[in-house]
Structure 1
């Protein structure tokens, strides 16, 4: 399946287990491709049980969005496992939209990865 984010095509691949779990859902699932800018760049797919305003419907109960973020401040003086995040205002977000998203459902957990080639 394919969707368009920021005028760029994104190929979505679902494993058989993910397709089955999505088909059994009565509520939407949002897969958020988070690109995290800090000292290093991190890619993560977050799954949310409610639709997010700018998410694009990929089919069935699946919605997808791209979300570049950065830390609010540098340092280690924050509570929790991660520093607070804020939206990252990218001048040309379409240049950073991933080319593909792969989703699996294993042992009761959603798993995802994305890439650019």
Structure 2
């Protein structure tokens, strides 16, 4: 299944599996999905679901799904081998549309939400 959503005047193609469709339909409210692009000494992308998402504003894709894009940064470059996350802050970008992903994929496997997003060609 798929749809599109406009983020910063840029179209993002959102795709989800049949399993994700079934899991979303059984929820009381929409699933919130955040595409986080992390700028520090490295660039990392991460998809956060539900209460793990920190965005203030989500855009509805349909009645079961809402998405957000959040560029973030840290105050210092520190790579933690224990996988503890450094405190993040919103990263104000002059032209955020340049960093908005082209696509987002969502799945529900083994009772857990999974997601990925990317740019240009589809995987």
Whether these two folds match at TM > 0.5 is yes
Q: Which runs of 4+ in 1 moved over 2 A?
A: 49-53, 72-77
**CA 1:27–1:36: 2 relative to 1, 3 Å:** same
Q: Which of the residues 88, 104, 108 maps onto 2:107?
A: 104
Alpha-carbon deviation of 1:82?
1.3
1: distance between equivalents of 2:83 and 2:54?
25
SS in 2 for 1:21: helix
**CA 1:85–1:96: 2 relative to 1, 3 Å:** same
Alpha-carbon deviation of 1:72?
2.7
The one-character-per-residue Cα deviations of 1:45-92 (angstroms, maximum 9, x if unpaired) are 000148953110011221100000001333469x97111110011110
Which residue is 1:39 aligned to? 41
Calculate the TM-score normalised by the size of structure 1: 0.90
**CA 1:52–1:96: 2 relative to 1, 3 Å:** closer
1: distance between equivalents of 2:78 and 2:28?
42
Calculate the TM-score normalised by the size of structure 2: 0.86
Structure 1 unmatched runs, 5+? none
Which residue is 2:119 aligned to? 116
SS in 2 for 1:22: helix
Structure 2 unmatched runs, 5+? none
Which residue is 1:5 aligned to? 7
Greater mean deviation of Cα atoms: 47-56 or 29-38? 47-56
Q: What number of residue pairs does the alignment pair up?
A: 116
